[in-house]
Every structure is written in C-alpha cells, then in structure tokens.
C-alpha cells in the first residue's frame, strides 16, 4: 500500500493489522488504539499527519516504522505533512470572543473525576449565538456526534500533542436530553422477568468517558435477536437515550442510589 501524510490510520490497520503495534511504539499517546472501541472511533477520523501532531512525532517516523511492513511512501507528495485540518466553518469566522465560554477539562480528568455533568450544565446554559470551547488532550468525538444531532455546530482544532480545542456553537434552540427524560420505570422488574435467561449483563461504572456509551452501543450491535442488555451504570446516560431511540431500542431505567443506576435495553 502506498501511503502519505493524508492516509487514514484505519486504512493502515485494514491493510496490515501489524501496523497497530508499529504505531503504538511511536508514542505512549497511541496506546489508546489498543482498545477496539476507541480504535474504531478514532482511526477512521485520524490521518498520519494528524496522528504525528498528537504523538509528538513526524510523518517520517511513521513511514520508517511502516516500511518494514510493506508500506511505501507516495513519492509525488514526499514525506511532508499535508494540510489535514478541517476548514474553519462560517460560524467560527463570525463568533464574538465575548460569547465564548471556556472550560479546560484536563485537570478534572487528571483527578479521576468525570466532567460530563459540568459540560452538560454549561452547554444547556448557552444562549443562541454563544459557544462553549472545551480544552482537552483528545478530541471528544462522541460528544461532537451527539450534540451535533441536537443542533449544535462544532469545530475541533489540534494545537499541539497535548491540546485540543473544541467549540460547541448554539445556532438555535436545541432539545438537549435530560435525566428527567428517563425517570425510574415502574415496570423495570417486569421487563427484566420477560427476558429471563435471554439477558446479558455488563458493568460500565469503572470505565472512563467515552467508553461507557461506546461499550453499550457495541454490545447492542452484537446482541442476538430476542435478547436484552442489563447495564450497571453510575448515572443515567442522557446522550445515549436518543441513540437508543434512533436504533429502535426500548429501555427502562431504575435509580438505586447515588452512582448506582440500572438500565434494561431491549427490542420489544
């Protein structure tokens, strides 16, 4: 396979699965690619040029690691990094800095805390024409996808290997889901009983974002017909609910206590 700085990581892995460990050896930041769920999410959006900036290396470093696996460099483009940044959308050109709130979630994540509720609260408080800029050490792709479905316009920019800026712009009134949309279900136990012996149970309480949601969606993709998924969660995953409805799954939620939520997901 002939490659360049614009080649997607997903294309490398499809061509030769051994490319995974070759890439991981370039930088500790690439170890997340060993997680199949994160790899599925990130590899299709990331080029060699982008990954080089994230990992603090160069496209030439990639080419040198991949050459022994049979990859060759596109000589017409050379080894230079080609432009991979998504063009700035129109809203970014007209966004008043006074209408931008800023939130750096890196200290929160470093302390072992989950910034989800804080992000959600700030997004809900936005007025039309305002934006929230989140600073993180990775691009929050699930959040981008979910808020995009709620009408928010988004844009991400990689500044250096440790800094992503992601803007969430409120162009109009948006129907952001809330935990109240999934109140405790009175018939929770009844539905659990209907799928007795046809239920898979998982626990996502120990996982860091965005793995709880990705894990649940991945399990549902492989769930046999006529079976259900029982999830131990630490909160009601409000951004998951529209995804479930879009995929025609039904769900029941039961709040046991602080940090202890049960979800039952099925197709009736």
Q: Is 202 exposed, middle or buried (0-12, 13-18, 19+ CB in 10 A)?
A: middle
Query: pLDDT tens-digit profile of 17-60?
Result: 999 999 999 998 888 888 887 787 778 778 898 888 888 899 99
Which domains does the chain show, CATH number per domain? 2-73 (no CATH), 90-170 (3.30.110), 179-266 (3.30.110.40)
Q: Is the pLDDT of residue 77 over 70?
A: no
Query: pLDDT tens-digit profile of 216-253?
Result: 988 998 899 999 999 999 888 877 887 888 889 999 99
Q: How far apart are CA 211 and CA 35, in angstroms?
A: 10
CB 167, CB 133: distance < 8 Å:
yes
Q: How far apart are CA 78 and CA 191, in angstroms?
A: 60
**Percent of the chain residues past pLDDT 70, beyond the cut:** 90
Reported as a pLDDT band with limits 50, 70 and 90, residue 81 is: very low
- Which carries the bigger pLDDT value, residue 87 or residue 75? 87
Query: pLDDT tens-digit profile of 97-135?
Result: 999 999 999 898 878 777 877 888 898 889 999 999 999
Buried b vs exposed e over 231-267: b needs ≥16 C-beta within 10 Å? bebbbbbbbbbbbbeeeebebbbbbeeeeebbbbbbe
In this structure, how many other beta carbons lie within 10 angstroms of the beta carbon of residue 16? 14
Q: What is the mean pLDDT of the chain?
A: 85
**Percent of the chain residues past pLDDT 90, beyond the cut:** 43
In this structure, how many other beta carbons lie within 10 angstroms of the beta carbon of residue 84? 17
Query: pLDDT tens-digit profile of 132-158?
Result: 999 998 778 778 877 887 789 999 888
């Amino acid at each position: 396979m002939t490659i360049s700085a614009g080649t997607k990581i997903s294309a490398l892995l499809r061509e030769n699965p051994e490319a995974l460990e070759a890439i991981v050896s370039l930088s500790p930041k690439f170890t997340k690619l060993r997680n199949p769920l994160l790899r599925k999410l990130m590899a299709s959006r990331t080029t060699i040029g982008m990954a080089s900036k994230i990992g603090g290396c160069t496209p030439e470093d990639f080419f040198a690691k991949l050459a022994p696996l049979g990859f060759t460099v596109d000589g017409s483009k050379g080894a230079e990094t080609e432009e991979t940044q998504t063009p700035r959308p129109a809203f970014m050109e007209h966004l008043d800095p006074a209408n931008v709130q800023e939130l750096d979630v890196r200290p929160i994540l470093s302390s072992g805390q989950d910034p989800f509720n804080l992000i959600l609260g700030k997004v809900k408080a936005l007025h039309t024409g305002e934006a929230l800029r989140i600073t993180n050490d990775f691009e929050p792709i699930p959040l981008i996808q979910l808020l995009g479905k709620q009408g928010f316009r988004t844009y991400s920019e990689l500044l250096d290997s440790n800094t992503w800026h992601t803007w969430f712009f409120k162009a109009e009134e948006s129907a952001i889901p809330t935990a109240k949309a999934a109140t405790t279900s009175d018939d929770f136990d009844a539905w659990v009983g209907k799928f007795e012996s046809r239920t898979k149970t998982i626990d996502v309480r120990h996982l860091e974002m965005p793995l709880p949601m990705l894990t649940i969606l991945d399990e549902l993709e492989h769930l046999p017909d006529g079976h259900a998924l029982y999830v131990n969660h630490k909160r009601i995953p409000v951004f998951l609910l529209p995804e479930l409805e879009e995929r025609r799954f039904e769900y029941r939620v039961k709040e046991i206590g602080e940090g202890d939520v049960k979800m039952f997901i099925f197709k009736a």
